Amino acid sequence: MKYYNLSADQEYGPALIKLADYCDSDEVKDYKKACDYYKKAADQGYAEAQCDLGFHYKYGDGVDIDLSIAIHYYQLAAEQNDCRALCNLAVCYEEGAGVTQSSKEAFKYFKKAADLGFARGQFRVARCYSLGLGVKESFEKAIEYFELALGQDYKTEEILEKIQECKNAQRTGEKSINKLNKSSKVILRLQGVSTN
């Protein structure tokens, strides 16, 4: 820790991030200090720090909740292809948190993370395809992306269930697909997520 502190005193970005992560850990939970370190590294252009700082502004850990600042930092990191930031920004579009709700924009950011090989992005793209969120419904593509995420041991049990649901919907035909899609969209609307 001594060397990280010395490096952080010199404003060395990777050391600032390590100290921020340490302060952000469950054992320390000094979120304000973590945000101070993340901010210094974020201002130097480190995408990881920008993403983490955006997260803190979205949820109010160590700083006041400010969705516009959260979006700003997510966008900076997303421009550098930080996959976590791409997915976090997509969730903001999905929820309408700090931005105008748009399933199409959410899909765009999830897809970019998926194309970069990020399992969480692949899972969310598969979900979008299976429910027709921001993209034309396609159980075939949903299965393809679920399997990509599954190949990385991401949410294995849940993905296996989703793949089976998609295969069942494909087998039973159009009416079942529409019924599954409508019930899923009703659940999403109840959760406050628009399906447009």
Percentage of the chain lying above the pLDDT 90 cut: 72
Is 115 found in the same domain as 75?
no
Residue 96 placed within a domain: no
Residue 114 placed within a domain: yes
pLDDT, tens only, 41-57:
999 999 999 999 999 99
- HSE on the CB side for 17, CA within 13 Å? 14
Is 72 found in the same domain as 7?
yes
Is 140 found in the same domain as 173?
yes
- Cβ-contact 23, 37 below 8 angstroms: yes
Given 47, 80, 113, the domain boundary residue is 80
Give the count of domains, the chain. Answer: 2
- HSE on the CB side for 87, CA within 13 Å? 17
- How high does pLDDT run on average in the chain? 88
Q: What is the CATH number of the domain that holds 180?
A: 1.25.40
- Phi/psi for 134 (5° steps) reads 75, 0
Structure tokens at 61: 């850990």
pTM of the model: 0.84
Percentage of the chain lying above the pLDDT 70 cut: 83
pLDDT, tens only, 87-119:
999 999 999 999 999 999 999 999 999 999 999
- Residues 6 or more apart whose CB falls under 8 angstroms from that of 152 comprise 119, 122
Is 117 found in the same domain as 193?
yes
The residue range of the domain holding 144 is 105-196
Cα distance from N-terminal residue to C-terminal residue, the chain: 49
- Cβ-contact 149, 155 below 8 angstroms: yes
Q: Which 3 state secondary structure label does DSSP give 76?
A: helix
Residue 14 placed within a domain: yes
pLDDT, tens only, 148-181:
999 888 888 998 999 999 998 888 875 445 555 5
Residue 90 placed within a domain: no
Is 127 found in the same domain as 73?
no
Task: Output the pLDDT for position 2.
Answer: 58
d(CA 39, CA 53): 7
- Residues 6 or more apart whose CB falls under 8 angstroms from that of 32 comprise 62, 63
Task: Output the pLDDT for position 11.
Answer: 80
Task: Output the pLDDT for position 171.
Answer: 85
Residue 100 placed within a domain: no
Q: What is the CATH number of the domain that holds 50?
A: 1.25.40.10
